[in-house]
């Protein structure tokens, strides 16, 4: 028996979950030839257009209390509506892992988790409610950053999200709900320059961009500061220069590093801080079946450790 597909929408209140669900069904035709059940677990600034949704064979049920969202309730709704797909507007203060692990009925299967984030309130929630923010992002397949304008710093937002979930897809929408692409103008340095000096505060943004777009940096000269993580096991005279990105707390870190080649590699000490500059080349990595950037170091020197060595994306 084919299970009913469940799309779980996470995000804080007024982040655009209701609008995204409704637009997906009414404007993008996602409900065509489907019998859709929408379960709304919080009431935001946008209300569902019940008559319009009904024309698209979509029904809406409201569950306001967390204890009411349980196995028995979902089983009842399944028997009542017999949906072919379910869209759940999940309360931003509830633990979505609990829904997946404990609440979701056997007849349903979560096939995608989507998270909506308002660019206008990103800093507020990320800085003050990071624990809850982590729950939204870590399991998400798609993150929609909406309400972007000319002042939105997309790469810092992207870096923060990717530090929590490197595999998720990120989409940016402007205030007219049109998708916007990242441009070089969003970077804190000029990609037209052959020489790029990466400021300490821009380390995370640089690492994210060069790993995803290595071809752009080929033959460019880079100056950057980091600490010696260790020798590279495969590349002769290779070592990794890196810094740690704090995902949620000091016990939860992700390394952002750059492979370097220097004749002095064997003399370097683990955790030693360096400023290095050199030229980027590309080398094919069989393990990921893609090109990776390699920094061929022309000059290196010891450096004073940063007061806060952890990577940020702001």
Q: What pLDDT score was predicted for residue 52?
A: 95
- pLDDT at 89 exceeding the cut of 60: yes
What confidence tier does 44 reach under pLDDT thresholds 50, 70, 90? confident
Q: Which two tokens stand for residue 33?
A: 């030839």
Pick the closest to residue 212 from 166, 173, 265 (CA basis): 166
- pLDDT at 146 exceeding the cut of 60: yes
**Backbone dihedral angles phi then psi of residue 22, each to the nearest 5 degrees:** -65, -45
Pick the closest to residue 50 from 66, 26, 80 (CA basis): 26
pLDDT tens-place string over residues 19-35: 999 999 998 888 888 99
What confidence tier does 101 reach under pLDDT thresholds 50, 70, 90? very high
Give Dmax over CA atoms of the chain in angstroms.
72
Domains of the chain (ranges; CATH) run 4-180 (3.40.50.300), 191-302 (2.40.50.140)
Q: What pLDDT score was predicted for residue 313?
A: 67
Percent of the chain with pLDDT over 70: 96
- pLDDT at 304 exceeding the cut of 90: yes
Percent of the chain with pLDDT over 90: 67
Pick the closest to residue 189 from 177, 198, 180, 181 (CA basis): 198
Q: What pLDDT score was predicted for residue 268?
A: 97
Exposure on the CB side of residue 157, measured as CA atoms within 13 A: 26
Q: How many helices (H) and strands (E) does the chain have?
A: 9, 14
- pLDDT at 247 exceeding the cut of 70: no
- pLDDT at 250 exceeding the cut of 90: no
Higher pLDDT: 36 or 188? It is 36
C-alpha–C-alpha distance, residues 212 and 219, integer Å: 16
Contact predicate 78/4, CB 8 Å: yes
Whether the pTM exceeds 0.85: the reply is: no
Pick the closest to residue 195 from 217, 226, 215, 210 (CA basis): 217
CA angle 223, 123, 12 (to 5 degrees): 135
Burial of 137 (0-12, 13-18, 19+ CB in 10 A): buried
Q: Which two tokens stand for residue 298?
A: 């022309």
Higher pLDDT: 2 or 296? It is 296
Higher pLDDT: 296 or 312? It is 296
- pLDDT at 227 exceeding the cut of 80: yes
The whole-angstrom distance between residue 160's C-alpha and the CA centroid of its chain comes to: 7
The average confidence (pLDDT) of the chain is 91
pLDDT tens-place string over residues 197-218: 999 988 988 998 999 899 999 9
Pick the closest to residue 254 from 117, 160, 131 (CA basis): 160
- pLDDT at 314 exceeding the cut of 60: no
C-alpha–C-alpha distance, residues 188 and 156, integer Å: 10
- pLDDT at 253 exceeding the cut of 80: no
C-alpha–C-alpha distance, residues 32 and 35, integer Å: 8
């Amino acid at each position: 028996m084919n299970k009913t597909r469940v799309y779980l929408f996470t995000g804080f209140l007024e982040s655009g979950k209701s609008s995204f669900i409704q637009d997906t069904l009414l404007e993008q035709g996602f409900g065509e030839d489907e019998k859709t059940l929408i379960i709304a677990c919080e009431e935001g600034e946008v209300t569902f257009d019940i008559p319009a949704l009904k024309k698209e064979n979509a029904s809406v049920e409201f569950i306001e209390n967390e204890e009411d969202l349980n196995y028995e309730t979902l089983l009842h709704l399944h028997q009542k509506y017999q949906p072919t797909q379910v869209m759940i507007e999940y309360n931003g203060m509830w633990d979505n892992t609990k829904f997946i692990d404990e609440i979701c009925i056997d007849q349903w299967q979560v096939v995608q988790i989507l998270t909506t984030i308002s660019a206008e309130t990103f800093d507020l929630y990320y800085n003050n409610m990071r624990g809850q923010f982590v729950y939204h992002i870590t399991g998400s397949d798609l993150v929609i950053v909406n309400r972007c304008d000319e002042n939105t710093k997309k790469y810092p937002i992207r870096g923060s999200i990717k530090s929590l979930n490197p595999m998720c897809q990120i989409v940016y929408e402007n205030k007219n709900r049109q998708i916007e692409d990242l441009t070089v103008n969003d970077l804190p340095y000029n990609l037209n320059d052959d020489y790029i000096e990466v400021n300490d505060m821009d380390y995370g943004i640089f690492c994210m961009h060069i790993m995803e777009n290595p071809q752009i940096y080929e033959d460019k000269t880079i100056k950057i500061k980091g600490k010696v993580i260790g020798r590279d096991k495969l590349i002769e005279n290779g070592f990794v220069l890196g810094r740690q990105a704090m995902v949620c707390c000091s016990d939860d870190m992700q390394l952002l590093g750059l492979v370097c080649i220097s004749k002095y590699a064997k003399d370097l000490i683990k955790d030693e801080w360096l400023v290095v500059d050199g030229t980027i080349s590309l080398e094919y990595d069989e393990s990921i079946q893609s090109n990776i950037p390699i920094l061929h170091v022309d000059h290196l020197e010891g450096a004073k450790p940063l007061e806060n060595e952890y990577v940020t994306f702001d």
